[in-house]
Chain A
Amino acid sequence: MARIKLEGLKKTYAGGVQAVKGIDLEVADGEFVVLVGPSGCGKSTLLRMVAGLETISEGRLEIGDRVVNDLEPAERDIAMVFQNYALYPHMTVFDNLAYGLKNRGFKRDEIERRVQEAARMLEIEEFLPRKPRKLSGGQRQRVAMGRALVREPAAFLFDEPLSNLDAKLRVQMRVEIKQLQRRLKTTSLYVTHDQLEAMTLGDRLVVLNGGRIEQVGTPMEIYARPASIFVATFIGSPAMNLIPLDYLRERGNGLLDDLPEGTDIVGIRPDDLHMQAPSGPHLVVESKLELFEAAGAESHLYVRLAGSEQPTVIRTAGQPPVSEGETLRFHVRREALHPFNHESNKRMGG
Chain B
Amino acid sequence: MVENRPLGNLVAHLILILGVALVLFPVYVAIVASTQGPGEFLRGTLPLVPGSHALENYRAMWEAGLSRAGAPPAGQMLWNSLVMALAITFGKLSISLLSAFAIVYFRFPFRLFFFWIIFITLMLPVEVRIIPTFRVVADLGMLNSFAGLSIPLIASATATFLFRQFFMTIPEELLEAARVDGAGPLKFFKDILLPLSITNIAALFVIMFIYGWNQYLWPLLITTDPDYYTIVMGLQRMTTAADGDPQWHLVMAAVVMAALPPVLVILFMQRLFVKGLTETEK
Contact = CB atoms under 8 A, between A and B. Distances in A.
Interface string A48-84: 0001110000000000000000001110001110111
B181 A74 contact: yes
Contacts of B180: 51-53, 73-74, 78-80, 100
A100 B196 contact: no
- Say what secondary structure dominates the interface of chain B: helix
Given A74-B182, A99-B181, A100-B181, A88 B176 contact: no
Interface string B1-35: 00000000000000000000000000000000000
Contacts of A79: 180
Interface string A206-223: 000000000000000000
Contact of B281 (A80, A83, A133): A133
Interface stretch (B131-139, B157-165, B187-195): B187-195
A108 interface: no
Contacts of B192: 88, 90
Nearest to A88: B192
Interface in B130-188: 171, 173-174, 176-183, 187
Contact of B173 (A84, A103, A104): A84
A161 to B, nearest CB: 12
Interface of A: 51-53, 72-74, 78-80, 82-84, 86-90, 99-100, 103-104, 133, 147
A104 B171 contact: no
A88 B183 contact: no
B282 interface: yes
Contact of B177 (A52, A72, A80, A90): A80
Max chain A CB contacts within 10 Å: which of B177, B179, B195?
A: B177
A73 B179 CA distance: 6
Contacts of B173: 82-84, 86
9 contacts: A51-B180, A53-B180, A73-B179, A73-B180, A86-B171, A86-B176, A88-B191, A100-B180, A104-B182
Given A53-B179, A74-B181, A133-B281, A103 B174 contact: no
A103 B180 CA distance: 10
A81 to B, nearest CB: 9
Interface residues of B, number: 19
Contacts of A74: 179-183
A52 B180 CA distance: 8
A106 B192 CA distance: 20
A100 B176 contact: no
A88 B182 contact: no
A295 B211 CA distance: 68
A100 B182 contact: yes
Contacts of A100: 180-182
Interface centre among B179, B181, B192 (most CB of A within 10 A): B181
A89 B179 contact: no
A99 B176 contact: no
B8 to A, nearest CB: 39
A51 B177 CA distance: 10
A103 B181 contact: yes
Given A90-B196, A103-B181, A104-B182, A82 B176 contact: yes
Given A53-B179, A103-B183, 19 more contacts: A52-B180, A72-B179, A73-B176, A73-B180, A74-B180, A74-B181, A74-B183, A80-B176, A82-B177, A86-B173, A86-B174, A88-B177, A88-B191, A89-B196, A89-B281, A89-B282, A100-B181, A100-B182, A103-B181
Contact of B171 (A73, A78, A84): A84
Nearest to B170: A89
Contacts of B196: 89-90
Nearest to B179: A73
A115 B175 CA distance: 22
A103 B192 CA distance: 13
A335 to B, nearest CB: 47
In the A-B complex, the 6 residue pairs with the closest CB atoms: A86-B173, A100-B181, A74-B182, A103-B182, A86-B177, A90-B195
